Structures are given as C-alpha cells and as structure tokens.
Structure 1
Amino acid sequence: MKQAVERSATPSPDSPDSPDSADVFAEPTERVRAGWTGGLSLATLAVFMAFMTPIQILLPLQLEHIDPHGKDTALSVVTGVGALVAVLANPLAGALSDRTTSRFGRRRPWILGGAVAGAVGLVVTAAQHSLLGVTLGWCVAQAGLNAMLAGVTTPIADRVPVAQRAEVSGWTGIMQSLGLVLGALITTLLVTGVWSGYGTLALLTVVLALPFVLRHGEPVLPRALRPDWDARAIARTLWVSPRRYPDFGWAWLTRFLINLGNALGTLYLLYYLTDSVHYADPGTGVLILTVIYTVCAALTAIPVGVLSDRRGRRKGLVLLSAVIMAVAAVILAFLHSWVAAMVAAAVLGAGFGVYLAVDQALVTQVLPQAQDRAKDLGVINIANSGPQVLAPALAAPVIAHAGGYTGLYLATALVTVAGGFLVRRVRGVA
C-alpha cells in the first residue's frame, strides 16, 4: 500500500468513475479539463451566492421588518454570530472531509451534504419572525455552507497540478464577486419578497452543486490510510504551528490583512456614497460599483492566472495586486465623486482579480501535509471570515475619530499594502 500511495500518476479528473484510491495523496500531474473547472466553478458560485446575498440584501430587509428601530444592531448580531460559526465550522468540516472514506470520495459528500444543509438553513431563516430565530436559522445556514465551502476549495489542491492552479483558481475566484452580483439581480429583479429570495437561493445552492458532484469522480480514501478519527486528535490538528510551518503562517497573515483591507473598504460603501459622494440612489450605486468591480476582476483573474502558471511565480503578483487595491483605496480617500468611485471600483476589481487567482494557487503550495488539505484550507479560510468580524470594530472609531472616510480608506490602503509585502516572507514559493 505504501508503494501505491507514493505513485505520482493521477487519473483523469473527468472520469465519472472514482479514480484509483492509491492516488489519494499523490501530487497531481495531469491537467484538468474545462468541464471539471466549470463544474467546480458552478459549485463555488452557489456557495458565495448563498453567503453574500442574505448578508447584503435579505437579512437587512428581514430584520428591518422585525425591528425597524434596532435593525443595525440586529444585523450586527446575526452576521457576527454567523461569522463565528463560520470560523469554527470550516476547518472542522475540512478535518472531517479529510477522514471521509465514502465510496464517493472525500469531497463530494461534503459538497452535496453542505449544500443541502445550507439550503435548509436558508429556508429556516426565511420562516423566522424574531431576532433569535433569524440568528439560529442563519447559524444553520452558515454551518452547512461552510461544510460545502470546505469541499469546493480543496479539489484544486487535490486534483490540479501546480502549473495549472492559478488559472483554475482564477475561474473559481471570480465566482465570489459574480455570486454577489447574480444574487442581487435575482433577489431584486426576478423574485420579490424575502421568502421567495431565500427559497430561490436555497434551490440554486443545491442545483448548482450537482454537476460537479455527479459528473466528476475522485480517489477514495482507504480506511488503512485514514487519519485518526478521534475528537482530541482532530482538535489538535486544527492548530497549525507557524514556527513549524512558517510559509503557511505568512501566507495566512498575508490573506488576513488583504481581506481586512477589503472588508474595511467595502463595509461602509453605502454610507460613503450617501454622505461623501451624495449619490442620489446609493443602493443602486453600490450595485453599479459591484458590477464594475466584478467585470474588471474577471478580466484580470484568468489572464494573470495563466501568466503566473507559465512563469511559475506567485509572490510578486500578490504584492502587485495589493498595491493596485491600495491605489483604489487612495482614490476613494481623496476624490469624493461618483466618477472617482467608478474608477476606484474598476481599479479595485482589477487588483482583486489578480489576487484571487494567484494567492489561492500560492496557498495550495504551502499546505503542510497532503492528508490534511481540507482542514488546512479551512484554517486558511479563517483569514477570509475573521476580517468580517474585526472590520466593524476597527472602522467605526476610525470614521469617528481619525479623519472620517478619508482616514478609513487610507487605513484600508496601509493594511492592504502591509499584507502584500508580508507575502515576501514565504520562502517555498517563487
């Protein structure tokens, strides 16, 4: 068995049958096809559409109806508790995925199961008429969607060769922004009402997961190679020592700071358009800026991903993306006009597109052990959700006491650039 596990060949990822289980920990060498990338991208789109649309649109509307005077505090409570669930659920689901010996593989059961659980959570949330009920329903949705996220983020490390990872990461990465845009369009133009919005998202979450789950097999984990299935052992693995694995630690910190900058820059965008730009319809303005941002991210993610794969270089492009995003923040800091906001959205999108493709590829190259890929990527994903909790606590005092929106966007630029420069501390990736 040991000799079999050490084989380097990887079966075709487009086979409907499960590939040879002996290759479960092998470093992938065969390029994945467009159908595989498309299926994974659709599943990723489902996750982020279900994540972002309630936070941006459905939860605020629902909570405004429940408590018109305390809606802001209520939204903070619901999203804050949900983010805490996400921080815990993602690496835990990843650890369980790494230990799954199903004949359908390690990732697909969690993608489909997480999609179903997330859909149930969305439907439960829609039926609530109290702050406590909405909070509990959203926690169920977050737990399910984070289990699904653990499943969709790992196949790139499992199945895609290093020389193709930035390209594939570009396709899956732009699904984050596209999910928000499509979710907003669906819940504002195609359906009306909170219940129909949640219901439509729940249905799409499951439907969009099916192509990847049903069409693309994966190696089965033999029971003899399964890591310890013990609560204490799993809990111990959730801590990844930055001293023992410094590249992993620096990659985590880089992602945390860049995502913190992104969270700071977007958190009060609606109020920025209202108070500083004086845009007549700030809600529509945010949607327009999001579309501009998404289009520009899509235009840079794939070409830069291909370039990064061909050159075999990641760190310089991560730093470049951070600098570009910081430029967008500086524009918002000093030029308070609608035209400047649109230019900043385009620049920010271009920079974030580069970042989405290259940073995800870099992260997959610093994972400590092949048998813990999903868990380790779950730990990395804390650097995505953690800033969403921290940003409100940092942004409010900056706006109040350190220069208003100019101070906020300058802080955004500084944090983002700091994250970009820290990627240079990663030694094992060019």
Structure 2
Amino acid sequence: MTNPITQDAAEGVHADGPESLSPRKLLFLWIALTFSSLFIAAALTTPTIITLQMKLMEVDPISAVAIVGTLVAVGMLTAALISPLAGKLSDRTRSRFGMRRPWVVAGVLIGLVGTAGVAFSTDVAWIFVFWGLASLGYGMASTLPLAILTEQTPERHRGVMGFGMSAAYGIAAALGAAIIPLFPESTMWPFLLPAIAAAVLVPLLMLITPDNRLTGAKSPLRITELLGAYWVNPMGRPGFTSLMIVMFLNGAGFVIFSIYLYFILMFHNGVSEADAPAVMTGIAGIGGIVSIVAGAVTAVISDRLGHRRLFLVVSSIVLAGGMLMQAFIEGVPMILFTGALQYGAYGVIGVFAFAILAEVSGTETAGRDAGMYNTVTMMSAVLGPIAASLLIASDPTNMMPVIYLSVGVTILGAIWMLFTKHIK
C-alpha cells in the first residue's frame, strides 16, 4: 500500500556543485549566510528574549509574567507551521532569482510589518496578532539559509559554515539587547531597528548568495505533497530523526530559561527591575563573545576530525550545568559568568546542529528538511514555555521549577545524542 503522504518527485537542479566553489565564492557564501542569519535572528530574538517582556510590562504590567510564555508560544507555533511549508514550496520554486532567495526576502518584509504592529500596539490582543504575523515572516526567512548551507557548502567546511550561522544567533542577542539602553524611555525603537535592518540588508546579502535553479518539466502540486512537508519517516531517516529529537530537547531547555531569565534575575537572583535590562545586556554580550570563540575552535577541530556528535553532547552538558548554577549564585559577576556559559554552550550546539543537518538532509528535500528543523526547534519553544507557565501558575514569582525543567530536558538531549549511532 502506498503511503498517502509523499515527497516531491526528482527534478533537475541547475547549479555548480559545492565542491567546485572557489575559495572566494565560499568566502562570499560564508559572509552572506552569516550576516543574513545575524539580521534575521536579531529581529526575532530581541523581542523573544526581552523586548516583548518590556512591551507587556508597559501595556499590562499585572498580567505580563502570566502571559509572556503564551505570547512567545503563539509566535513560535506560527513560525513552526509555516517553516516546512515554505521549505517544501521552495524545493519546487522556479524563479529566475533562485529557489530560496525569494522566500527569504518575502519573509523579512512580512516580519517588518508584524514587528511594527507590535511596536505601535497598545492592546494585548493586537500584540498577539502582530507578533504572530512577524513570527510567520521570520519563520520563512530563517528556514531557507539552512537549505542553502546544505546545498552549497562542501562537507569539509560545514563546521566552519555552521559556526558562522550559529555565531550570528549569539551575536544577534547581544546586538538586540545593546539597543535597549539607547532608548530607556521607549520600547518602540528596540523593536523596530532590528526589523528595519533585516528588511534592508538581508535582500542585499541575498544578491551575493549562490542559489540553485530548478529546470525541467514542472510536476503538478498535490495536496499529499503539501502534507508531506510535515512528515518524515523515522525508520527511513534515523540520523535526521535523532537530530530532531536532540534539538527539540536542547531547544526547549534553552528557550524556557531564556524567556524567563528576565524574571529569574528579579525574583530569584535579587536583581532590581531597573538593573535587569543592563544585566541582560551584559549576559548577552559576554555570552556572544564566548560563543564565538568556543564555536570557532570547535568548528575547525570538528571539520578536521570529521566528527560532530561528541561536541554536541559535551556542549549540552555544559549548558545544563550553567542553568543549574543559576539557582545557587548571588551577585552580578557570577550571574554574568553563568549566563555567558549558557550562551556559549548553546552557540556551540548550534554549530554542530547546522553541520549535522547538512549531512543528514535529503538531496532533493533540503528546503523541507530545513523547515522541519525549524519546526522542531520552534515547537520546543512552544511546548517548553507552556509547561513552564503551568509549573509556576500558582506562584509566578517562584522560578525554581523553571530552572529545574530547563536543566532536565537539556540533560535528556545530551543522553539521547550520546547513544545515537547514526551520527558520527
């Protein structure tokens, strides 16, 4: 019996093979993917980590703690639903601008519209609507650079290329947080500036990004193919499935902790509401530096050894340890140290997640696979905060359940990857 959920039939792809790219073209590719990821991530993570919390405190300070997890979850769910579909459709796109570029550009423009709506909203309901729209756009935009990494990067350079994209996400958090002290009396510009930068600069970067073009006869688009965007046979693709499980667990742990870190600092570590934004900025800045250094070193070593799994296991354990330390520390210096440890470890996780994704993706489903990766990581960001919000529903100022939940799921991810046999 034929499975009713099918994949696209093979189609011709016109492009130079990744092994034939010159060093100059590889450098341009690294620049384009790294900085595109940086601006997209800044537009998405700055609100997720801190400015949405600040906006809610401005609009509805009484309910801000209770609803922030749900708001972030709604945005992540929207992005999770669109990512595989955008990736699947990009696998079939026959634009003269390429398969992936049009989707990236459309995504950052939609994201700008949604982000502007949040910035100017004075009602919680409209904040939910516009943040959903922004998340849809950035979900599209962040999916396709991963597909380009898979298609355009030689295997021996995937660690370094993954480092560039992972470092971009770490720097994005610091970049977005650094904007906040510049506008102490406003939440509007901390929202708008990253989104404007993404809408202007990402399309320019796409001009120097190599992209495949489909040729040959166009097969009709069937509903079963669209449904296939959301399905992977775990038995047929064990390596891809294991990566999805591990990143779901790691993503849940880090996102839960990141979303509630603003409140952990105030309610658990004794940081005042006035000082919390500056401490968050310090954590993101130092963490970004640690992430870059650790990611660069491990990426080069991994490319030379040709192994990724052990690096992912160790960095997951370090991430869990950093989050657990948060429960037992006092003083800003130790807070900065543990925060940097967490950001640095998660940055290294990203390096190897991107490199492994490129190695386990299908040759003709790179867009869909990248979309599925985004969906899994974003669903972790949906379910994780919901679980955390339920744990603290009776006492929103008690952050210990949040910390323990973050640590627990991250350790599960490390254990799963440790015993995975389908990823080297």
TM range (shorter): 0.7 to 0.9
User: 2:92 and 2:123 mapped to 1: Cα distance?
Assistant: 38
- 1:406-417 alignment runs, 5 A limit: 406=400, 408-417=402-411
Q: Are 2:294 and 2:348, in contact at CA under 8 Å, matched by a contact in 1?
A: yes
Relative to 1, partners in 2 of residues 1:3 and 1:194: Cα closer, same or farther, differing over 3 Å?
closer
> What residue number does 2:3 align with?
none
Q: Are 1:29 and 1:160, in contact at CA under 8 Å, matched by a contact in 2?
A: no
Q: Are 1:254 and 1:423, in contact at CA under 8 Å, matched by a contact in 2?
A: yes
Instruction: State the superposition RMSD in angstroms.
Output: 2.8
User: 1:391 and 1:299 mapped to 2: Cα distance?
Assistant: 29
Count of aligned positions? 410
Which one-letter code corresponds to 2:421 in the other structure? R
User: 1:198 and 1:45 mapped to 2: Cα distance?
Assistant: 15
Q: Give yes or no for the alignment of 1:242 onto 2:234.
A: yes
Q: Give yes or no for the alignment of 1:267 onto 2:259.
A: yes
Q: Give yes or no for the alignment of 1:279 onto 2:271.
A: yes
> What residue number does 2:293 align with?
299
User: 1:71 and 1:350 mapped to 2: Cα distance?
Assistant: 29
User: 1:376 and 1:82 mapped to 2: Cα distance?
Assistant: 21
User: 1:315 and 1:90 mapped to 2: Cα distance?
Assistant: 25
Which one-letter code corresponds to 2:241 in the other structure? G
- 1:4-403 alignment runs, 5 A limit: 21-23=13-15, 28=19, 30=21, 32-189=25-182, 193-224=186-217, 228-280=220-272, 281-367=275-361, 369-396=362-389, 398=391
User: 2:219 and 2:234 mapped to 1: Cα distance?
Assistant: 22
CA positional deviation for 1:274: 2.1
Q: Are 1:227 and 1:371, in contact at CA under 8 Å, matched by a contact in 2?
A: no
CA positional deviation for 1:73: 4.1
Which one-letter code corresponds to 1:254 in the other structure? V
Q: Are 1:121 and 1:138, in contact at CA under 8 Å, matched by a contact in 2?
A: yes
CA positional deviation for 1:62: 3.5
User: 1:139 and 1:411 mapped to 2: Cα distance?
Assistant: 26
- Structure 2: gaps of 5 or more residues: 1-8
CA positional deviation for 1:362: 0.9
Deviations 1:125-156 (A, max 9, x none): 33333233222222221111111112222111
Deviations 1:171-224 (A, max 9, x none): 111111211221222243169633434432332012220332122332211142
User: 1:110 and 1:54 mapped to 2: Cα distance?
Assistant: 22
User: 2:72 and 2:252 mapped to 1: Cα distance?
Assistant: 16
> What residue number does 1:16 align with?
none
Deviations 1:39-68 (A, max 9, x none): 211111111111122233443343344334
- Greater relative contact order (CA < 8 Å, ≥ 6 in sequence): 2
CA positional deviation for 1:397: 5.4
Relative to 1, partners in 2 of residues 1:114 and 1:392: Cα closer, same or farther, differing over 3 Å?
closer
Quick check: 37-46 or 261-270, which moved more? 261-270
User: 1:172 and 1:246 mapped to 2: Cα distance?
Assistant: 25
TM-score (ref. length: structure 2): 0.88
Quick check: 344-353 or 187-196, which moved more? 187-196
User: 1:282 and 1:111 mapped to 2: Cα distance?
Assistant: 34
Q: Are 1:228 and 1:234, in contact at CA under 8 Å, matched by a contact in 2?
A: no
Relative to 1, partners in 2 of residues 1:191 and 1:92: Cα closer, same or farther, differing over 3 Å?
farther
Over the matched positions of the two proteins, sequence identity in percent amounts to: 22
User: 1:297 and 1:149 mapped to 2: Cα distance?
Assistant: 20
Relative to 1, partners in 2 of residues 1:45 and 1:343: Cα closer, same or farther, differing over 3 Å?
same
Relative to 1, partners in 2 of residues 1:85 and 1:273: Cα closer, same or farther, differing over 3 Å?
same
Q: Are 1:74 and 1:131, in contact at CA under 8 Å, matched by a contact in 2?
A: no
> What residue number does 1:14 align with?
none
Relative to 1, partners in 2 of residues 1:115 and 1:248: Cα closer, same or farther, differing over 3 Å?
same
Which one-letter code corresponds to 1:212 in the other structure? L
User: 2:219 and 2:155 mapped to 1: Cα distance?
Assistant: 25
User: 1:393 and 1:136 mapped to 2: Cα distance?
Assistant: 18
Which one-letter code corresponds to 1:236 in the other structure? G
- Structure 1: gaps of 5 or more residues: 6-20
Which one-letter code corresponds to 1:118 in the other structure? G
TM-score (ref. length: structure 1): 0.86
Which one-letter code corresponds to 2:232 in the other structure? V
